[in-house]
Amino acid sequence: MATRIFLVLIMAILVLMIATFSLSLVEKEEIALIENQEGKSLNIVDDLYDIEGNQIPLESLLEGKVLLNVWASWCITCLVEHPFLKSITQSKDVKLIGINYKDQSFNAEKYLLENGDPYIFSIYDLSGEFSLKLGVTGAPETFLLIDGVIVSHRIGEVNMEIWNEKFAQYF
C-alpha cells in the first residue's frame, strides 16, 4: 500500500516536472528578464551638457520623436551597431541623440572622428547618473521617445531585424 502511494507520488512529480520543462523549451517568445522602460516618461532633474560642454535645451529631448542611443568608446558592441545607426539616419527622417556613457570626452571625440558622427549631439554622462535614472543597464541601449514618453526600448545591439521589430512602425 505504502509502495503504491509512493509510486503514484513519484510518477506525478516526474510527469509534472517533464511537462514544465517541455513548456519552457517550447516557449518561443523569450521573455526579457529585465523590465524595459516602455511606458515611462523622461524625467530630467539636472542640467545636461554635450561632449563639448554646451548646455542642452531640454525641449530637444521632450518634443517630437527622438531616438536616444547609449554608447561609449570602450564599448565593443557599440562599434558593431555604429554603421547601422549611420545608415538609418541617412535613409530615414530620424532625430538621433546619443548618450555618451561613462567615457572620457577626448576618447568620445576621437571615436566620433574615426567612425563618423550620426548623432545630432551626444549627452555627456560621465557619472552614468542620467542613464541610471533612465533605466540604462549598460551600453549599447536604444530608446524611442515620443513627446518625452518612452515608447520603445532595446537593451543591446540594434540591427535591421531589431529595427523592424521594435522601431520601424513609428517611422
Which stretches of the chain bind another protein, using CB under 8 A? 3, 7, 10-11, 14, 18, 20-25, 27, 30-31, 33-35, 37, 72-74, 76, 102-104, 107, 126-129, 132, 135-138
Phi/psi-derived region of residue 41, left when phi > 0, alpha when psi is between -120 and 50, beta in every other case: beta
Helix, strand, coil fractions of the chain, as percent rounded to 5:
45, 20, 35
Least distance to another protein from the beta carbon of 103, Å? 7
User: What cell does 16 get?
Assistant: 509534472
Q: Rank residues 135 and 148 by Cβ distance to another protein and give the closer one.
A: 135
Least distance to another protein from the beta carbon of 104, Å? 6
Q: Rank residues 89 and 100 by Cβ distance to another protein and give the closer one.
A: 100
Q: How many CB atoms lie within 10 A of CB 71?
A: 26
Q: What count of Cα atoms within 13 Å lies in the side-chain half-sphere of residue 35?
A: 7
Q: Rank residues 38 and 117 by Cβ distance to another protein and give the closer one.
A: 38
Least distance to another protein from the beta carbon of 102, Å? 5
Q: Rank residues 50 and 103 by Cβ distance to another protein and give the closer one.
A: 103
Q: Rank residues 87 and 107 by Cβ distance to another protein and give the closer one.
A: 107
DSSP three-state, residue 165: helix
Q: How far apart are the first and last CA of the chain?
A: 69
Least distance to another protein from the beta carbon of 122, Å? 16
Alpha carbon distances (Å) from 30 to 26, 27, 35, 38, 155: 10, 7, 13, 17, 14
Least distance to another protein from the beta carbon of 19, Å? 9
